[in-house]
Amino acid sequence: MIANRRTLFRLAAATGLTTLATACGSGDDDGGSGGEINFMGGSDTMELLHKVPSFEDWLRRSRVVVRPQFVPDDTTALQKLAAGGTQGVNLVNWINQFRTGWQSLDLFAPIDTARIPHYANVIQDFGGPSFAGTQRDAQGRVIGIPKYWAVSGIVYDSAEMPAPTSYFDLLDPKYKGRIAVLDDPGSMESGARLLGYDASKLTRPQLAEAIALVTRFIRQARALPRSAADLATLMGSGEVIACGVELGFLPKMLDQGKKSFRATVAMKEGGTSYGVLLSTVKNAEHTGAVHEFLDNFLTPEVGRAIAERSPSVPGIKGATTWLPDWYRQSVPVDDLPKLFAENPSVNFPPAKPDDPNLVGLNEFLAGWQQAKIAAKS
């Protein structure tokens, strides 16, 4: 089963991150004259930008103040925005596997790319149709700036097993008690996809099949780690030799000192991916500051930081050259169109499907708890 950093992320103390800006802005809407970025998303974005000298320098010079409103995941963000509106938020970091839910809120405003000179750095058709389609609205206007694209596969210990070619390889009886499944409701998408179903349009009988398959994987697992650190400990000790996971987890494995850890995305069922975007909202204030923020986000320096620190495929031209060797060996980034086509973005169900015969998001995610309960019987 596969999970990613965003669905696993749980908010920790964000001490000191609001010090990205060094002076209060005036609230003017002109670039370079202050203003506020009222940001909603995970803390990882601001943590990364805090380490890019050119971005920090721009913040100091511009007198833009960043006021983060950190949320643990997109589900929480969607619930907050649906219940109370944007409440002053003018920049949102979101993941496109929840695109059905985001699109249903109709929050995003067109972005004036003429005010973003560095928009020319964005890789065209980035992420393929399943991701690129979320960067524009029905009228073809840009509503999302791509941050990065991440791919999932299997991280494994090559000293203990050959490279898997199918996710079902992990169900081989000889690996019982030697794999891990991350404790993440997003694993339900994997169950549906491995059965050939579209998780965003799942009937209740299909959901029951997905729960049954996920239950098999849980029964096969030694543990259900809740974080990358927990998984790294299990694999570093040799208790676990494989786990379906987003490849950005591999550095944690390599930190354990084992040189035999590898990652592969070459599964016969195909791979999956997700993309992260930045968007502004309708009727937002301080749009000058927002556009200037986005322009500085699309610089090569930020692209390099994403490639080196995430690591994932940045949406900025040329940034893949900064990806670490292990990533380039595991993910064929030299042919991005082919890579995107073979690893389409996942999509979760909407909160309230139009068709009453289809399951909604909460029912879909609740299937994970049902699978864990069933695995104990």
Q: Return the pLDDT at 193.
A: 92
- The encoded tokens of residue 111 equal 């972005």
All domains of the chain, ordered by start, with CATH? Answer: 16-149+275-323 (3.40.190.10), 150-272+346-375 (3.40.190.10)
Q: How confident is the model at residue 28 (pLDDT cuts 50, 70, 90)?
A: very low
More confident site: 251 or 289? 289
Q: Is the pLDDT of residue 45 over 90?
A: no
Does pTM top 0.85 for this prediction?
Answer: no
pLDDT digits (tens, 9 = 90+) for 97-140: 888 888 888 899 999 999 999 999 999 889 988 887 789 998 99
Task: Inform me whether the pLDDT recorded for 84 exceeds 50.
Answer: yes
Q: How far apart are CA 118 and CA 38, in angstroms?
A: 22
> Helix, strand, or coil here: 74?
helix
Alpha helices in 50-98 (DSSP H): 53-62, 74-84
Both tokens of 220, joined, read: 């096969």
Identify the band that residue 38 occupies on the pLDDT scale cut at 50, 70 and 90.
very high
Residue 243 has pLDDT above 90, yes or no: yes
List of residues 6+ apart from 89 with CB closer than 8 A: 38, 39, 40, 69, 81, 281, 284
Kindly indicate the confidence band of residue 217, based on its pLDDT and cuts at 50, 70 and 90: very high
Work out the mean pLDDT of the chain and round it to a whole number: 87
| Cβ–Cβ < 8 Å for 154, 242 | yes
Residue 366 scores a pLDDT above 60:
yes
Which of 72-81, 251-260, 331-340 shows the lowest mean pLDDT across its residues? 251-260
Tell me the pLDDT band of 16, cut-offs 50, 70 and 90. very low
Given a cut of 60, is residue 3 above it in pLDDT?
Answer: no
